[in-house]
Structure 1
Amino acid sequence: MTYAVYRFVQHTIRQAPEGGVTYEAFCMTAGCRAESGGFEDQDDARDWCLRHTGRNPGHDLFRRVVTDYARVLRDEE
């Protein structure tokens, strides 16, 4: 007969600063496929939205995406 012992270990997930953060914006106006691309500074993504609306009246709805990285760490016992 085979026996198994299971040991459950707690883990924590936290933002990994070394991965950085990326800010992106996508115009959600019907038929417009404009997207900002990734920026390291959220002000750059905001400015892209403002410029896009200025050049394209009526394009005033955006989907904003913030991407960061996370690391899972084993809790100390």
Structure 2
Amino acid sequence: MDNRDEKIAALEGEIKILKNKLEKYTNNERHRKYYEKNKERVKENAKQYLNRLKEENPDKLKEYRHRAYMKRKEKINESDQ
């Protein structure tokens, strides 16, 4: 029992360390500044990607839209409950 508790504590410590390292690379101040400065460029690139996807692989686009619909439906059901 004592051995398991030590392993659990060690793994929880490792999880905390990894989460802190991950935060350095995701959603930090540099990312926010970049998107604030280049908002139009990012939107334009996303629009171009969707148009290219429409031509090259319409099934993938259909899959994306279906997944978005299912998530919206799930959120509505959660908010109603």
How high is the TM-score relative to the length of structure 2? 0.27
Structure (1 or 2) with the greater strand fraction: 1
Higher helix fraction: Structure 1 or Structure 2?
Answer: 2
TM-score calculated relative to the size of structure 1: 0.28
